[in-house]
Structure 1
Amino acid sequence: MANKREVIGLVVRDKLDKGVVVAVERRVRGAVYGKIRRRTTRFMAHDEENSAHVGDRVALVESRPLSSRKRFVVSRVVERARIV
């Protein structure tokens, strides 16, 4: 698993059975003035134990295609969401 990509993101949806939608934020520099902007990408990820919930910060590992849109697996929950 040394060559597998790992990204960390925030769970934004957990209504899927054995799956979550994770928003991964990256920073890009604007072409003209060089202003740094935040861009988010939403990934569908496989969560076998249904352990991740909305607001949790999770680590995703790249895997083989599990469905038409699932290309990542939840490897661990980095930080649980705070309950208010």
Structure 2
Amino acid sequence: MEEKRNLRKERIGIVSSNKGDKTITVTVKWKEKHPIYGKFVNKTKKYHAHDEKNECSVGDTVRLMETRPLSKTKRWRLVEIIEKVK
């Protein structure tokens, strides 16, 4: 059981909102090469994640892990806070 859990997807991003109760919105950024022109393009995606203890604040760098659906939009949960905002 423990081995299967390690295969879940993980993302690292920055908290952009924590207004929901036990919910945070995390913005994940990455670079992708354009298939024709070869230029690197910045891509962003927002994920809604479960924050059980309401411990995140806006600007924190966090690690998310994929989980079962927790609500209509939440499919990720907070694993750890990598860096707290100052």
Q: Which TM class, normalised by the smaller chain length?
A: over 0.9
Alignment-derived partner of residue 18 in structure 1: 22
Offset at residue 3 of structure 1 (A): 1.0
Aligned residues: 82
1:78 and 2:82 matched:
yes
1:57 and 2:24 matched:
no
Offset at residue 31 of structure 1 (A): 2.2
CA distance in 1 between partners of 2:6 and 2:16 (Å): 28
Alignment-derived partner of residue 66 in structure 1: 70
- 5+ residue gaps in structure 1? none
Higher helix share: 2
CA distance in 1 between partners of 2:64 and 2:41 (Å): 23
User: Once the two structures are aligned, what percentage of the paired residues are identical?
Assistant: 38
1:38-70 Cα offsets, whole Å, 9 max, x none, are 100000000000011100000000000000100
Q: Which residue identity is paired with 1:6? A: E
Runs of 4+ in 1 over 2 A off after TM superposition: none
- 5+ residue gaps in structure 2? none
Q: Compute the RMSD of aligned alpha carbons.
A: 0.7
Offset at residue 27 of structure 1 (A): 1.1
CA distance in 1 between partners of 2:55 and 2:41 (Å): 31
TM superposition score normalised by structure 2? 0.92
CA distance in 2 between partners of 1:2 and 1:44 (Å): 21
Q: Which residue identity is paired with 1:3? A: L
